Amino acid sequence: MAPPPPGSRVLITGVTGYIGFHILLDALRAGWTVLGTSRSQARLDNLASNPAVLAAVSTPSSLELIQAPDSDDEAEQRAFFTAALRGITHVVHTAAPLPLPHANPTAGVLRPTIAGARALLAALAAAQPPPSRLVVTSSFLATLSPYPPDPTIRVTPETRAPAPSEHALADVGEDPITAYRLGKGVVLRLLDEYAAESSTDVVIVFPGFVHGGHEGARTMAEFDVSTMFLMRSLVTGVRAPMGRVGGAIHIKDTAAVHVAALDEERVPRAGDGKPTSLGATIPVVYDDTWGIVQKHFPEAVAAGVFTQGSEETWASGWDSTQTEKLLGMKFRSYEEMVVDFAKKYIELLPKSSAGHEDVLS
């Protein structure tokens, strides 16, 4: 990968999140000067002392961390981004709420997803000079229609479903996943509109469910975040109450695609005022998880660290091979995702867990 252009500085939102943290690490290792944001000052302070981050920082000036408003008020967020964008040449926007089971679909997922994107785009539109490139984390779920998907229909970023109607936004119901898909769909429409009018080039990344380890996690509390509960359920005896689309991506590949997207030679502009779209998912079957765990961690299975869970897989026709060809990479397998998760899980088990100390020996 080519080094960043001289004088470049990238704003990365949501750096204390699972995806944002790993994008931050890869960006620092690639030589980028980074301004990272998060709504939590406590989590920023924790990140600043993280050994993985300290090892990736090449000079004291290569990383600055600032707290974003812990508010969904668009005016307040826009003012924050307006100030943060001064001197910024590139942006990676990954901050957005996840559709966790306890989340309020409208207030906790839909509205903040849209408000954050609107505020950032408004600030970008007024920035002088504007950043040369904006990379945004979307989701493969936002591209699917019908939902659950028809596995006979090939899906790519270019075939994504139309943005949801206002009527659809009013009918979120009680399902956080529906709110997440609709919110991401609205953001795609906003990005299309922004790309058509702006000199800033837009790249949209469409990850599947993100799995794997966590390079910076030092405790189980730091590890058990984001989509970790999905994999944890599959290896701790939980039977999921409903199915999930069978598409996933390793956290390391997720971060690599985002950082590669900053390179305008590696990922050329789409042209015609349109965003460039990068798919980042491979087909998976969630009930394959237990066989992988039995194969690689028989001692942990025997000790009761891992027990068999289950989750129905909704197959889809999602195809990310064009991204692999463009970037010259091969996405890691689902087996690697499971193995890396399980290794980190065992590493972080409390030492007092009877019979768990020697399962990696």
Q: What residues form DSSP beta bridges with 155?
A: 318
pLDDT at residue number 354 = 41
Per-residue model confidence as pLDDT tens digits over 303-353 = 999 999 999 999 999 999 999 999 999 999 999 999 999 999 999 998 545
Find, among 82, 118, 138, 80, the residue nearest to 258 by Cα: 138
pLDDT at residue number 166 = 60
Q: What residues form DSSP beta bridges with 203?
A: 135, 276
pLDDT at residue number 355 = 46
- Strand bridging mode 10-13 / 317-318: unpaired
pLDDT at residue number 157 = 87
Name all domains of the chain by residue range, CATH numbers in brackets: 10-212+247-281+315-332 (3.40.50.720)
| Residue 266 to residue 1: CA distance in whole angstroms | 8
Say which residues have a Cβ less than 8 Å from residue 319's Cβ, sequence separation at least 6: 154, 155, 156, 279
| Token duo for residue 177 | 């996943």
Phi and psi, residue 219, nearest 5° = -135, 165
Q: Which residues of the chain fall below pLDDT 70?
A: 165-168, 351-361
Phi and psi, residue 249, nearest 5° = -145, 140
pLDDT at residue number 167 = 65
| Token duo for residue 299 | 């001692």
Look at the pTM and tell me if it is higher than 0.85.
yes
Please give the full DSSP string across 132-173, using - where no structure is assigned: SEEEEE--GGGG-SSSS--TTSEE-GGGPPPPPPHHHHTT-T
pLDDT at residue number 336 = 98
Find, among 235, 263, 225, the residue nearest to 19 by Cα: 225
| Token duo for residue 122 | 């408004």
pLDDT at residue number 276 = 96
